[in-house]
Amino acid sequence: MSDEKTFYITTPIYYVNDVPHVGNASTTIVSDVMARFMRLKGRKVIFATGTDENGPKVLEAARERGKDPQTFTDEIAAQFKDIWGKLNISYDDFIRTTEERHIRVVQEFLSRLIASGDVYKGTYAGWYCLSDETFFAASEVTDNLCPNPECRKPLKWVEEENYFFRLSRYTDRLKRHIEENPEFLTPEVRRNEVLRFIEGGLRDASISRSGYGWGIPVREDPQQVVYVWFDALLNYLTVTGWPEDAEKYNQTWPPDVEFMAKDIFVRFHSTLWPAMLMALDLPLPKRLFGHGFWTIEGEKISKSKGNAVPPATLARQLADISGAEVDVCVDAIRYFVMRELPVSSDSDFSMQGLIRRFNADLANDLGNLLNRNLQMLTRYFEGVVPQQSPPDSEIRDLAAQICCEVEEAFESLQFPQALAALWRFIARMNKYADEKAPWVLAREGKIEDLANVLYTALESVRIAAVGVAPFMPTVAKIIWHQLGIEEALSGQVWDRAAVWGGLKAGTRVRDVAPIFPRITAKETPRKEETPAVNEPAGETPYISFDEFKKLDLRTGQIKSAEKVAGADKLLKLSVDIGSEVRTVVAGIAQYYAPDALIDKTVVLIVNLAPAKIRGVESQGMLLAADVGGEAILLMPDRDVPPGSKVR
């Protein structure tokens, strides 16, 4: 075996009371993206996910469906695997807590704690929430309802003899570890929550139950079953072969990063779990990452609220309205989840937001960069990649810089920043084509310059494909195919693939359809009208030429763009019109991401009377085509100096 430790990534194991939705699928997507990047880095990876199948909550769900619990859990586990397959999740181990290997680990772990005195038998009295499968102290309960704001279901008062883990014994040691290892808990807002929770005092935890017929029996006392949370956390250890396979365990443990949502971060993963490991002197996970919730109209996505969106259904809906392949739409969902991942706070999920990203980032930016350059290569060089001599040092250095930024973003678990860096590179290359105007070079017979420009553009597409591969594996393979590269994308290694010059001269590209057909407003009805940039009111009357001459139409270059506070549809733009920089408010936020507009050349009316919009003075109006109610900005097809008069 290699001396280098296996990079070990985990998701939480998911309750089998129902199948996945977009909310919990995002945790698995994040983990998969990390696993794919580490494989791209040349690391051996174990990426583990699975299902949590024990406990009264699962037993109750099985009975509601008229099934025995094993049959029920077998069916749901199979559905999880099917959904993860459709989302292109590349897990290495799917762990189920009803497996014999896991039962042996749980019983052995608990036996060692009993032998050491860290687990003792006592009487528990307190409030129990079946939905959360959590006990609460009387001091935490004020109205007989679950204190968890996402639950708030009635509690049950329970008094029974259980086994207890001496969690309180590890309060100081746990706090010291968190303070001395700032990367242990991420993001910082979650780390601060954990420290406040610890400072409030840790109580010994009840870790067994009596009278339940579905769970792992305590080896020393078969009338007791292991508490589902104590049982579930140990799945991470089961995957490594502990304690039976010492070689695999030593190669794999500890986890490099454990991903989860914030609701299970504080009480279980950041306090109980590390204390359990400390009790047996086992190394702690290197990092725990707790992301925020996806919401719909401000409410957490959950099955109980009836707003859960099955990811496969969402992909089919997107395919229906876009005309893209379903697998491409799966990648679009993966991209959206990673680009807008709720890290420190929650994020709202909507079909309209997904469509905006699909149009602006995927169709307009990535798709446009690929399509326009493939078409020009076919037109001017019969689809054969020309020789570049010499390389464009500015673009080559930028590509190297972007690749470093992407790697740094992964190292710090800042996934949206990794994509932002890649899209800054893609935006620069779209602008590059406008600057170099290869159609002009072809017309003027400057074939060597034309070859250099097109090689630079397509080599940039190749590097972008490698960069997006962890996020959108299907899309990356399609781009790779269209570029005509024979070497398998799966065989690429990040440090080499990101080096300039990987696209070989003489490669013949393939003529295929665009990957991302743009979605129009006609194809996707909106809940509410979006103000168009130039919305006509009924029949447009004729005007005289003298009236038309009163309009001062000029080109402008967008220097900055940001959303207007409190307005979902408005962008505040700074537009250079040659003589000055104007502030313009435009209702195009549904169609264009702010970053995608930087350095774009647009057409605007500069002698329109200023108007206050949401407290911002707008000093002009952009011109756009109204296509089925969607605003498409008018942009020149070649470089035009800011302030050029439109006649």
Summarize pLDDT for 535-554 with one digit per residue, the tens: 333 334 455 555 666 788 88
Which pLDDT score, from 0 to 100, does residue 628 have?
Answer: 46
Q: Please give the angle made by the CA atoms of 50, 54 and 58, to the nearest 5 degrees.
A: 100
Dihedral angle at the C-alpha atoms of 153, 159, 162, 165, nearest 10 degrees?
A: 60
Residue 160's pLDDT is 84
Can you tell me the mean pLDDT for 421-436? 94
Give the C-alpha separation, 69 to 215, whole Å: 10
Q: What is the CATH number of domain 522-633?
A: 2.40.50.140
Hey, what are 156's tokens? 């049950």
8 A C-beta contact, residue 476 and residue 497: no
Identity of the residue numbered 314? L
Is the pLDDT at 73 greater than 90, yes or no? yes
Instruction: Say how far residue 248 (Cα) sits from the centre of its chain.
Output: 30
| Two tokens, residue 545 | 């030429």
Cβ pair 336, 353 in contact under 8 A? yes
Task: Report the distance separating Cα 342 and Cα 253, nearest Å.
Answer: 28
| CATH (residue range 360-497) | 1.10.730.10
226: exposed, middle or buried (C-beta count within 10 Å: 0-12, 13-18, 19+)? buried
Strands 7-10 and 45-52: parallel
What is the model's pTM? 0.79
Alpha-carbon distances, residue 190 vs 179, 265, 299, 416 (angstroms)? 13, 8, 20, 18
Q: CB–CB of 507/384 below 8 Å?
A: yes
| CA separation for the pair 288, 236 (Å, rounded) | 13
Residue 549: its H or E element: helix 545-549
Alpha-carbon distance 52 to 48, whole Å? 13
Identify the bridge partners of residue 93 per DSSP, sorted by sequence position.
Answer: 48
pLDDT classification of 297: cutoffs 50, 70, 90: low
Report the pLDDT averaged over residues 503-511.
Answer: 93
Residue range(s) in the chain whose domain bears CATH number 1.10.730.10: 360-497
Averaged pLDDT for residues 210-221: 87
CATH code for the part of the protein at 7-296 = 3.40.50.620
Identify the pLDDT of residue 195: 96
Collapsing DSSP to helix, strand or coil, 206 comes out as strand
Contacts of 397 (CB under 8 A, 6+ apart): none
Region of 190 (left: φ > 0; alpha: ψ -120 to 50; beta: rest) is alpha
Nearest alpha-carbon partner for 1 in 181, 275, 248:
248
| Among candidate residues 195, 200, 192, 202, the one with its CA nearest the CA of residue 171 | 202
Would you call 602 helix, strand, or coil by DSSP?
A: strand
Give the pLDDT confidence score for residue 549 in this predicted structure.
Answer: 62
H-helix or E-strand spanning residue 108: helix 100-116
b/e per residue 334-344 (b: at least 16 CB within 10 A): bbbbbbbbbbe
254 preceded by a cis bond (ω within 30 of 0):
yes
Residue partners of 71: CB distance under 8 A and separation at least 6: 62
CA distances (Å), 337 to each of 30, 315, 604, in order? 8, 13, 34
Give the model's pLDDT for residue 28.
97
Long-range contacts formed by 181-184: CB under 8 A, 24+ apart = 183/286, 183/287, 184/284, 184/285, 184/286, 184/287, 184/288
Tokens of 407: 């790697």
Query: Boundaries of CATH 2.40.50.140 in the chain?
Result: 522-633
**Crossing angle of the two packed helices 393-411 and 415-436, in degrees rounded to 10:** 170
Chain position carrying tokens 């079946």? 130
**pLDDT for 25:** 92
Share of the chain above pLDDT 90, in %: 63
Return d(Cα 163, Cα 220) in angstroms, integer.
Answer: 11
**Residue 533, pLDDT above cutoff 60:** no
Q: Specify the pLDDT at position 626.
A: 65
Stretch 309-322: mean pLDDT, rounded? 90
579, pLDDT greater than 50: yes
- Asked if residues 558 and 573 have their Cβ atoms less than 8 Å apart, the reply is yes
